[in-house]
Amino acid sequence: MILVTGGAGFIGANFVLDWLAQCDEPVVNLDKLTYAGNLENLTSLQGDARHVFVQGDIGDASLVAQLLTQHRPRAVINFAAESHVDRSIHGPGDFIQTNIVGTFHLLEAVRAYWGGLQGAQKDAFRLLHVSTDEVYGSLGPGDAAFTETHRVEPNSPYSASKAASDHLVRAYHHTYGLPVLTTNCSNNYGPFHFPEKLIPLMIVNALAGKPLPVYGDGMQIRDWLYVKDHCSAIRRVLEGGRLGEIYNVGGWNEKPNIEIVNTVCALLDELRPRADGQPYASQISYVKDRPGHDRRYAIDARKLEAELGWKPAETFESGIRKTVMWYLDHADWVEHVQSGAYREWVGLQYASPSA
């Protein structure tokens, strides 16, 4: 079996659902259930004996040690993190705690467990750490996309905390020989994406008749990948990745934010037109920029493609259509995640809406 951390969040839940749709190898899912963790993402697994959910913290070394001893996984896949840049600007403490200190405790528990394995079990064991392209910092307009050897130059408390965790993972391989793999992926989108992030926020706000807040000039560039393609890349790296290596994951889909917002609006115009016949793009509102906002990310995924033969299944056009349709079909999910904590966040972040 495998141990997944953060498997009730956006990418982790997609990963667990895809894993169990494709094989019968059981999953132990350790998740703290912060505001971003949602067991509703996993309701289709209710009663499925292949999925064992445990509410807990990756920083709880004794709990992690107990789970490892009890379930004896062949791999640990670490998704657990605080993941939202804007929240890290308002309050970095939780990011330091989970992304750095939590990853350290997880590494210690995994090192002790792996140290006690023997022979083939020890050789086969893997820790896969899921990270982000944001650790590389920001690119200028003409710069080449990030390769795995790009300088690590994180600019936000979020990306700095992820870079620190990546360094710890690397050091545990170098110093203790822990069999680790690290993936650094570009921006994901798709089902179960919490509506604090750009794409789901725009869909949810558009449908609610609210302003669509675009930071600064809207010309910041992100490189978008459909979440299920990220999950297939992780499975492929777990299966065939070389120990201690970093694999960049991306779909060669660089787009400025304003283009993303316009695409979402156009799809909604087609699939759920406004009652008054006006385009959703009329709700776009330029707001104050994010402090320290990275201008451009772009991933060079050639290592993963060449070494492991991975390719994304979705184009941006097919993935974004699926995503918008998923949100239209899951109004209940959206309503349930818009809890008190969500409303407090929106009140704090978007208090002064004009640029």
Which of 4, 11, 16, 67 lies at the binding interface for ligand NAD (CB under 6 A)?
11
What is the DSSP code (8-state) at residue 197? S
Interacting stretch for ligand NAD, rule CB under 6 A, among 73-81, 208-216, 277-285, 307-315?
73-81
Round to whole Å and give the CA distance between 11 and 231: 8
H/E stretch holding 10 reads: helix 10-22
What is the DSSP code (8-state) at residue 151? P
Listed in order, strand segments (DSSP E) in the chain are: 2-5, 27-31, 51-55, 75-78, 126-132, 180-185, 187-189, 212-215, 221-226, 246-249, 254-256, 284-287
State the number of binding residues for ligand TYD (CB under 6 A): 12
The interface with ligand NAD within residues 181-200 (CB under 6 A) comprises 185, 187-188, 194
Concerning whether 166 is annotated as a catalytic residue, the answer is no
- Binding partner of residue 215 among ligand TYD, ligand NAD, none, CB cut-off 5 to 8 Å per kind: ligand TYD
Concerning whether 133 is annotated as a catalytic residue, the answer is yes
- Look at phi and psi of residue 19 and say left if phi exceeds 0, alpha if psi is from -120 to 50, else beta: alpha
Minimum Å gap between C-beta 247 and ligand NAD is: 12
State the number of binding residues for ligand NAD (CB under 6 A): 32
Angle at 346 between CA 269 and CA 327, to 5 degrees: 35
Site string for ligand TYD, 154-193 (x = CB under 6 A): ---------------------------------x------
Our finding on whether 162 is near ligand NAD (CB under 6 A) is yes
Quick check: 20 and 41 in contact, CB under 8 A? Answer: no
Which tokens sit at 9? 């969040």
Question: First and final CA of the chain: distance in angstroms?
Answer: 50
Our finding on whether 139 is near ligand TYD (CB under 6 A) is no
Site string for ligand TYD, 243-282 (x = CB under 6 A): --------------x-------------------------
Q: State the residues that interact with ligand NAD by CB under 6 A.
A: 5-6, 8-12, 30-34, 36-37, 57-59, 79-83, 98, 102, 130-132, 162, 185, 187-188, 194
